[in-house]
Structures are given as C-alpha cells and as structure tokens.
C-alpha cells in the first residue's frame, strides 16, 4: 500500500484532448492532462495508516484545507454490496437531508462570476466524462440533473450547466490535473468524472466505491462552520468522482453497473440529500439463497444492489422538497 501511495505522486494517466478553437485564431494544442495526488495528502495518509487511524475528512481538512475558508463536511460514498459474502449485513440510514445548505444570494460562492446567486451551477470536466472509454456521460449528467430539478414535488431552483473551458483551470480542489488553480472552486458543483480505480484506493482506501461526493462548507477564522439558513451550515462546494475501474453500462445487469443509477444518486448528494432506507437480507430456508431488498425503494438508498435506481422515489422527492421547497427564501 505504501508503494502504491508514493507511486501515485507520479503521473497516473495522460489524456489527449481534442482542440477547440474559433476560425479566427491559430490552432493551439490543448494541455495534456495528468492526475497526481498532492504529496502532502499521501504523506499524511501514510502516517495515519501506520498509526491505524485514517479518516479522509480529517485528513483533507488537516492538509489541503488547513487554514482555508472552506472545509470538507461530508464524504458520501456509494458502494457495491455482494450478497454471497455479506449475508449477515443489514443497513439502515435515514438522513433525509445534509446538515449543510446552499445559501441563496451568497456572494461568497460566486465562483463563476455570473452574478446569479439564486441558481446552482455545475460543471463537467469533459476529458474524464467518458466511462470505460466507451460511454459519453455528459448527456447522462444533464438528464439526471434534469430529473432532480423537474421530476420532484418541488420545482423551485434552477440547476444550470456551465460548460468547462481549460481557461477555468483545475476542476478539483483535491487532485492535481496539471492545470492552473486559484485554490477556489470553478462552480458550485464540479463533476470531475471517471477516475482510475487506483485513485479511489489511494484516497479513500476502498475498491468497491462506485462514486463519491465531497461536500464543503464555509468556516470562520476559528475553523467553525458558518451558519445562516435555519441553523444549517453554509454550503460552499461539492466535488464528485466516479470509479472507472468498474464495468459500466446503460442499464442494470449481471456484472455491470448502471450509469444512470449511480450518477442520479451522487447528484442527489450534491443537492443536499443523504442516504435513506432500510436494507434487508432475505434468506430462503430451504436453499439458503439470499436476496437483498430495500424498503422503501429510493435512488438515495445507501448501497448499490444491482438494481436500477434511475428514478426518484417518494422519499427522494419529499426529501428534495425539504431541502429546496422554500428556495430562494430557505
């Protein structure tokens, strides 16, 4: 593991990007993109593992975001589960919404400078928006955000796409892509894309994570979260990764992971929703066969059990209303 962590300080992947230009300018090659994990983060994690204590939120806040005006509040991972090896597992989580909220009119998060502070802006880092070098995920991103915005009981907030341009710089506050960075987000939500499995193992210490959403809040000079909306902490930014080490597909099936189900789930976290539902293990007393069943069925169920969750369940819609029903006065 130590060798892996130090190896990841070097470039893991190079991506050649197609050049975009207008007809009035000479063609310029777009930069080659390299992924590296900052050395301060890998060194801290190595020491923490030796001590037997690894907490990714604490690690990030004590390294990359020490002294910053934003810190990581939540790290929500979406994992696969294997009925053969986890037949005793029963999971139940009822976090309808997160403890943080986007604040309407918040000048502190005018990351893109458009002055519109009553919408939520998201950006896709298109060099990594292809799953398994096969599926273009950006149309799915748009469709899944449209579901959250339009298919619920409440249609109060605009979720706007902001096209990525290399002039914006680094899309991640955690990983280094060899692009300039101001240290600030480039949008409210950055969908970094499909990253190598080795990144997930090195940063999060697990291989069965399909996706992860890092949620940040604003903090004061003492490092304490700022609160202004119904006692909720002021949300600053969310960053989303997907694990390209899995076999992705357009639909659920044996041995594959449904793109829409995972993307819709992770986008729910970016919009302040938590995990919701009870996972039960059903066992056939004659054959010993087991099956997993969620009650109630929602896209924000905590674990991926191989079934399509590309829809909003009743609790998804209700919890979304809890988070957004009063916008922009919430």
* Mean pLDDT of the region 83-94: 50
Q: Which residue has the higher pLDDT, 34 or 83?
A: 34
- d(CA 216, CA 169) in angstroms, rounded, equals 19
Tokens found for residue 68: 């910053």
Q: Indicate the pLDDT class of residue 82, thresholds 50, 70 and 90.
A: low
Q: Which residue has the higher pLDDT, 32 or 218?
A: 218
* Mean pLDDT of the region 212-230: 92
Q: Indicate the pLDDT class of residue 28, thresholds 50, 70 and 90.
A: low
* Mean pLDDT of the region 105-115: 90
Q: What is the pLDDT of residue 92?
A: 60
- d(CA 47, CA 167) in angstroms, rounded, equals 36
Q: Which residue has the higher pLDDT, 51 or 259?
A: 259
Q: Does the pLDDT value for residue 158 go beyond 50?
A: yes
249 contacts 73 by C-beta, under 8 angstroms:
no
Q: Indicate the pLDDT class of residue 278, thresholds 50, 70 and 90.
A: confident
Q: Does the pLDDT value for residue 25 go beyond 70?
A: no
- Of the listed ranges 143-157, 207-221, 278-292, the least confidently predicted one is 278-292
Q: Does the pLDDT value for residue 23 go beyond 50?
A: no
Q: Indicate the pLDDT class of residue 77, thresholds 50, 70 and 90.
A: very high
Tokens found for residue 105: 């009119």
Q: What is the pLDDT of residue 281?
A: 80
Burial of 21 (0-12, 13-18, 19+ CB in 10 A): exposed
Q: What is the pLDDT of residue 83?
A: 53
Phi, psi angle pair for 16, to nearest 5°: -90, 130
Q: Which residue has the higher pLDDT, 283 or 198?
A: 198
Percent of the chain with pLDDT strictly greater than 70: 85
59 contacts 44 by C-beta, under 8 angstroms:
yes
What confidence tens digit (pLDDT) does each residue in 168-184 have?
999 999 999 999 999 99
What confidence tens digit (pLDDT) does each residue in 311-325 have?
999 999 999 999 999
* Mean pLDDT of the region 275-287: 79
CB atoms inside a 10 Å sphere around CB 197: 14
Percent of the chain with pLDDT strictly greater than 90: 66
- Transcribe 149-192 into DSSP letters: HHSSS----EEEE----GGG--S-SSSB-SS---SS-SSSEEEE
What mean pLDDT value characterizes the chain? Answer: 86
- d(CA 113, CA 64) in angstroms, rounded, equals 24
Q: What is the pLDDT of residue 94?
A: 60
């Amino acid at each position: 593991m130590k060798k892996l962590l130090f190896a990841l300080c070097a470039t893991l992947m190079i991506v050649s990007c197609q050049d975009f230009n207008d007809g009035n300018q000479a063609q310029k090659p777009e930069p080659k993109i390299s992924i590296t994990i900052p050395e301060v983060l890998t060194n801290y994690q190595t020491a923490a593992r030796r001590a037997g204590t690894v907490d990714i939120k604490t690690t990030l806040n004590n390294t990359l975001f020490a002294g910053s005006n934003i810190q990581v509040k939540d790290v929500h991972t979406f994992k696969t589960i294997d009925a053969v090896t986890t037949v005793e597992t029963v999971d139940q989580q009822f976090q309808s919404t997160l403890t943080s909220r986007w604040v309407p009119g918040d000048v502190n998060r005018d990351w893109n400078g458009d002055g519109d502070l009553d919408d939520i802006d998201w950006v896709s880092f298109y060099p990594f928006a292809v799953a398994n070098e096969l599926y273009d995920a950006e149309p799915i991103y748009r469709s899944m955000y449209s579901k959250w915005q339009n298919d619920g009981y409440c249609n109060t907030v605009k979720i706007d796409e902001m096209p990525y341009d290399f002039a914006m710089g680094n899309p991640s506050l955690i990983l280094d892509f060899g692009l300039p960075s101001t240290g600030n987000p480039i949008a409210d939500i950055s969908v970094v894309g499909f990253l190598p499995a080795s990144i997930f193992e090195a940063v999060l210490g697990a291989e069965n994570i399909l996706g992860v959403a890092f949620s940040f809040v604003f903090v004061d000079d003492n490092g304490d979260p700022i609160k202004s909306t119904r006692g909720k902490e002021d949300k600053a930014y969310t960053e989303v990764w997907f694990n390209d080490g899995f076999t992705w597909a357009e639909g659920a099936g044996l041995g594959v992971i449904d793109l829409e189900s995972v993307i819709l789930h992770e986008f729910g976290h970016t919009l302040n929703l938590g995990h919701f539902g009870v996972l039960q293990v059903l066992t056939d007393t004659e054959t010993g066969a087991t099956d997993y069943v969620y009650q109630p069925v929602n896209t924000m169920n905590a674990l991926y059990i191989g079934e399509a969750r590309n829809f909003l369940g009743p609790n998804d819609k209700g919890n979304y209303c809890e988070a957004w029903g009063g916008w922009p006065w919430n």
